[in-house]
């Protein structure tokens, strides 16, 4: 038994030494070429390993060959540089190689290939030009598309295995295997690779990563169709022009390039939406759903590992998710039926909330935990501010900031978002916005404000001003002596005063905490909006609290999962896009059944849509009439889930169900585990 174990360890040791030796040979050769400033590209198995490692290090396959691609004219300089590093030039079977020392074997060498020349006389095409990217290890690797064509045209079993490795981690899709020879005798990688028309450019670079600007048209349309079908964006239904191919193409245009691989931008977006809508928010479950989807479609399986999906999310910029989410929300709001509006005006709700995220160094740096928590005991926390349509509930804009600090409050967030407001719109917000500067700046934009008097700043005196009715008057607010959020020049440019309307509303409902409120507004005409109208409108402000609760509780966005700030923001935008798409389906149900969107339960709509997803995804019926009837059945089911008309409901703010009690974490987890291991504290 001992001798068997010893032999096994010896074999493993030999394997590690062999891999390390080949790696050292590669790094030594590329280091001298880098130092000499000579152009080259690592090709072959090591190039495949470098690309695969960007997605899944565990899927890397070791190789003993070191293949370098150079230009024929650089051969003398390359020879001098490699010989200086201890390599010996040799010609073996018409292959130029550099042995690793005088007594080395041909297998212990650097093999050279020449750009623009065939590897073998019987080879169908010449080697590609030096289109490279920089590997983190310090050498230059051939671009992915050129590497793929070299492997496909070689015809060797080893190269086919390398292609399967690239497919397995999601770097390429199956349609790459059906590409034709470039027309006009062009060299691969020189001016591009042929697509369907034989002339589409393929090699582009973005931040050191080879990418493909063009996309497979049929694949793109199929991905758009799948995404649209999931949220009833096709067929003879209202509001089907929100998530259009043009909207998605415009968002993709912001990307300087991308690879049409398994996790293309649209597939990544589709998987991300399924992840945030699912009860299980894990990446493993999201990739498993894609794997099942591909097999149900008769496509080849993708890897069940999550590395390719996580890398795809990292590659996509935050603007891609934000542009699509805001486009859908604003388009839905623009198409809202007139009977959904308040007195023919568009009203937008604003409020802030907070979300927490995993306790990582990056998240703590970007969004620190609250100041009174000890290090290691709290979680990073971010403040969000949302502008939401009162008519349909769609989020039209969203902002992020830290939880605390100068310029990190809700009013500061509002000022970053209010560019989407248009003259004639009404902003409905809480008392934080009822400050002099916000009212003036919004009035200059032609935006009306309905808010609540902030008693910390002003007191209402109904004996002053122009009386409009009982406890309803128009009064002038003078400019404060200083405004911290404005510089001196901006402060002096503002008027000396602003005219506002104040109206006190009495709350007579038993059980309500508030007995009276003072509504502050720039709607001065009592014929346009009576005091009762203002009271009813301000009461509708509670919708923003319910909307944020739907996003954070029903969609489980209260505690985010991503471990870097960039991915955290993308995760939030994915939630907002999913929320807006569900609101679109609710608007379709409301329009068809002639009810208000606000009367439909968001949770009920989300649950019903999730139940219908398999039928929508795989088009349970082939004829258009059957698909339309399926959509009508879905909308009818959603319309039945109505919110009870309970405007005067009140409940005690206490909990009945007792939870299991565990003590609080009062010191860093690692410190407590060390004490547990020593028996100092109980688990």
Residue 513: the pLDDT is: 67
Q: Where is average pLDDT lowest: 347-356, 559-568, 617-626?
A: 617-626
The CATH number given to 26-211 is: 3.30.460
Q: What percent of the chain has pLDDT over 70?
A: 80
Model pLDDT, residue 195: 28
Residues in the chain: 683
- Long-range CB contacts (< 8 A, 24+ apart) of 119-127? 119/154, 123/153, 123/154, 124/153, 124/181, 125/149, 125/153, 125/181, 125/182, 125/187, 125/188, 126/187, 126/188, 127/69, 127/187, 127/188
Helix (H, G, I), strand (E, B), or coil: what is residue 465?
coil
Q: pTM score > 0.85 for this model?
A: no
Return the pLDDT at 202.
32
pLDDT score for 179:
41
Name the helix (H) or strand (E) containing 584. Answer: helix 565-593
Q: Lowest-pLDDT range, 28-42, 215-229, 341-355, 654-668?
A: 215-229
pLDDT number for residue 203:
30
C-alpha–C-alpha distance, residues 98 and 29, integer Å: 10
Q: pLDDT band for 212, please (50, 70, 90 cuts).
A: very low
Q: Is the CB of residue 100 less than 8 Å from the CB of residue 144?
A: no
Whether the pLDDT of residue 354 is over 90: the answer is yes
pLDDT tens digit string along 368-413? Answer: 999 888 888 889 999 999 999 999 999 999 999 999 888 888 889 9
H or E element in which residue 67 lies: strand 66-70
- When pLDDT is cut at 50, 70 and 90, the band that residue 624 belongs to is confident
% of the chain surpassing 90 pLDDT: 29
CA–CA dist 219, 430 (Å, integer): 47
Residue 552's region, left for phi above 0, alpha for psi from -120 to 50, else beta, is: alpha
Residue whose tokens read 């916005």? 433
| pLDDT level of residue 24 (50, 70, 90 thresholds) | confident
One DSSP character per residue, 279-309 reads S---HHHHHHHHHHHHHHTTPPPPPSSSHHH
Per-residue confidence (pLDDT) for residue 143, from 0 to 100: 78
Least confident of 38-47, 204-213, 562-571: 204-213
Check residue 200 and give its pLDDT: 30
Lowest-pLDDT choice from 41-50, 184-193, 208-217, 324-333: 184-193
Evaluate if residue 55 carries a pLDDT over 80: no
CA distance 250 to 228: 16
Report the pLDDT value the prediction gives residue 599, as an integer from 0 to 100.
92
Domain ranges of the chain: 26-211, 218-417+561-653, 430-540
């Amino acid at each position: 038994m001992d001798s068997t174990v010893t032999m096994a360890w010896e074999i493993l040791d030999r394997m590690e030494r062999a891999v390390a030796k080949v790696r050292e040979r590669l790094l030594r050769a590329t280091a001298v070429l880098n130092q000499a400033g000579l152009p080259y590209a690592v090709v072959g198995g090591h190039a495949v390993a470098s690309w695969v490692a960007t997605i899944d290090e565990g899927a890397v396959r070791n190789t003993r060959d070191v293949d370098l691609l150079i230009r024929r004219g650089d051969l003398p300089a390359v020879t001098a540089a490699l010989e200086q590093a201890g390599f010996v030039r040799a010609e073996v079977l018409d292959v130029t190689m550099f042995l690793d020392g005088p007594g080395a074997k041909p297998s212990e060498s650097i093999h050279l290939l020449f750009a623009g020349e065939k590897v073998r006389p019987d080879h169908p095409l010449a080697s590609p030009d030096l289109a490279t990217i920089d590997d983190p290890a310090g050498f230059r690797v051939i671009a992915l598309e050129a590497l793929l064509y070299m492997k496909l045209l070689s015809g060797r079993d080893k190269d086919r295995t390398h292609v399967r490795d690239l497919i397995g981690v999601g770097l390429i899709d199956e349609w790459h295997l059906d590409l034709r020879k470039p027309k006009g005798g062009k060299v691969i990688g020189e001016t591009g690779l042929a697509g369907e028309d034989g002339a589409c450019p393929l090699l582009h670079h973005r931040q050191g990563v080879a990418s493909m600007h063009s996309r497979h048209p049929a694949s793109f349309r199929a991905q758009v169709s799948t995404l649209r079908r999931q949220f009833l964006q096709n067929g003879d239904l209202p509001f089907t022009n929100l998530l259009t191919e043009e909207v998605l193409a415009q968002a993709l245009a912001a990307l300087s390039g991308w690879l049409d691989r398994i996790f293309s931008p649209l597939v990544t977006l589709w998987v991300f939406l399924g992840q945030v809508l699912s009860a299980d928010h894990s990446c493993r479950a999201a990739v498993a759903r894609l794997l099942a989807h591909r097999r149900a479609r008769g496509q080849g399986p993708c890897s069940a590992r999550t590395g390719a999906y996580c890398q795809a999310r990292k590659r996509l910029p935050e603007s891609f998710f934000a542009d699509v989410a805001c486009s859908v929300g604003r388009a839905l709001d623009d198409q809202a039926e007139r009977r959904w509006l308040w007195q023919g005006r568009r009203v937008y709700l604003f409020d802030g909330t907070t979300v927490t995220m995993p306790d990582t160094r990056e998240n703590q740096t970007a969004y620190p935990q609250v100041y009174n928590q000890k290090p290691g005991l709290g979680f990073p926390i971010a403040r969000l501010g949302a502008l939401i349509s009162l008519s349909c509930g769609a989020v039209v804009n969203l902002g992020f900031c830290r939880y605390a600090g100068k310029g990190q409050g809700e009013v500061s967030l509002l000022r970053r978002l209010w560019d989407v407001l248009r003259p004639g719109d009404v902003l409905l917000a809480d008392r934080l916005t009822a400050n002099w500067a916000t009212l003036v700046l919004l009035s200059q934009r032609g935006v009306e404000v309905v808010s609540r008097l902030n008693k910390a700043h002003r007191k209402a005196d109904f004996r002053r001003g122009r009386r409009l009715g009982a406890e309803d008057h128009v009064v002038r607010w003078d400019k404060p002596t200083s405004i911290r959020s404005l510089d001196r020049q901006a402060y002096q440019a503002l008027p000396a005063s602003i005219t506002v309307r104040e109206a006190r509303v009495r709350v007579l409902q038993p059980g309500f905490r508030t007995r009276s409120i003072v509504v502050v507004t720039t709607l001065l005409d009592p014929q346009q909006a009576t005091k009762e109208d203002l009271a009813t409108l301000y009461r509708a402000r509670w919708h923003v609290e319910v909307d944020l609760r739907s996003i954070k509780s029903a969609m489980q966005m209260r505690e985010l999962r991503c471990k870097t700030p960039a991915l955290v923001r993308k995760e939030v935008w994915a939630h907002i896009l999913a929320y807006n798409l569900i609101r679109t389906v609710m608007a379709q149900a409301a329009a068809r059944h002639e009810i208000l969107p606000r009367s439909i339960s968001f949770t009920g709509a989300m649950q019903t849509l999730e139940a219908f997803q398999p039928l929508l995804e795989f088009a349970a019926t082939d004829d258009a009439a059957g698909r339309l009837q399926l959509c009508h059945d879905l909308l009818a089911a959603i319309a039945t889930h109505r919110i009870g008309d309970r405007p005067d409901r009140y409940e005690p703010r206490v909990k009945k169900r007792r939870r299991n009690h565990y003590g609080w974490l009062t010191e860093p987890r690692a410190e407590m585990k060390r004490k547990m291991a020593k028996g100092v504290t109980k688990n």
